[in-house]
Structure formats: structure tokens, C-alpha cells
Amino acid sequence: METVAHNTAAPIGDELGRVIREMNIGSGAERALANMVRRAGSEDLDLIVTAINIQASVGGNLARVLDSISHTIRQRVQIKGQISAMTAQARASGWVITLLPVIVAAILYFITPTYFRPMFRDQVGIELLAVATVSVAIGNVFIRRIVNFRV
């Protein structure tokens, strides 16, 4: 592990160096690796550390397990990329739908100010603008929840 820590660029090399220092001051490998997972906050790293801990206690072919995990992580990254590409149009549509009322209102205000000015001066107009703003904001939240989901 020391060789990997010294030959790997930051931040991975730094984290592995920290794990080695923790182990040198008496912390067990399992605890030092768990601390690294907690600091990094990565599900993939958690999966790798769990496999290492299980293999350390039970034994077996760690290289095969890590190869399988790396394949799983690559597939997960690929699927996330595909989903991001597939939902890009929906995300853009969500922003267009959100911004369109504002753009139309601005155009109306500048083209015919006498037509749109009562919306800012009359109490009913102000209330309608408030309702419209809240409705657009709620719609944007729903659209973002639909197109942004966790894989």
C-alpha cells in the first residue's frame, strides 16, 4: 500500500498515505480504510473497502473481486452518462418552460408598456404576478425532480 501511495498522484496518494499513517499509529486497517471512506464520501470507494475488508477476514481472490467491482463501477459511470444525455433535452425544456413567461412578460412590457403596466400598479395585477411566479417555480421544481434522479 505504501508503494501505491507514493506512486499515485493526489488526492488518492494523499489519502492512502493518511491511511498508512493511521495504521502506523495503531489504528487497524479496517478502521483506517473506513475513515478514508467517510472522508471521501464515495459509494464506489465504500464498495471497494468493503470487499477488501471481507477478503482480509475470509480470504479469497481479491484481484478477481476488485476486477468485478471495477467493471461494475465502469458500467455505473456509463449508465449515468447515458441517462444524462437522454435527459438533457428534458432539462433544457424545463428551463425554457420556466423562463418563457418571464421573457414574454418582458417583451410585452417593452413593446406595449401601457398594456402591461397595470400588472405592476394594480393590486389584482400584483397578486396575479405573484401567483404566476409561484406556479412557475413549483413547475420548475417538479420538472427538475422528474429529470434529475439518482442512479
**Per-residue pLDDT reduced to its tens digit, 69-122:** 999 999 999 998 888 888 888 889 888 999 999 999 899 889 998 888 888 899
Sorted by where each begins, the domain ranges of the chain are: 2-60, 87-147
H or E stretch at 111: helix 62-111
Q: What is the 3-state secondary structure (H, E, C) of 135-147?
A: HHHHHHHHHHHHH
Instruction: Could you list the beta-strand ranges (E) of 1-150.
Output: none
Banded model confidence at residue 151, pLDDT cuts 50, 70, 90: low
pLDDT of res. 147 = 82
Distance in angstroms (rounded) separating the CA atoms of residues 136 and 147: 17
Distance in angstroms (rounded) separating the CA atoms of residues 131 and 23: 60
Q: Are 31 and 22 in contact (CB under 8 A)?
A: yes
pLDDT of res. 22 = 92
Name the grid cell of 145. Answer: 425532480
Look up the pTM and report it: 0.61
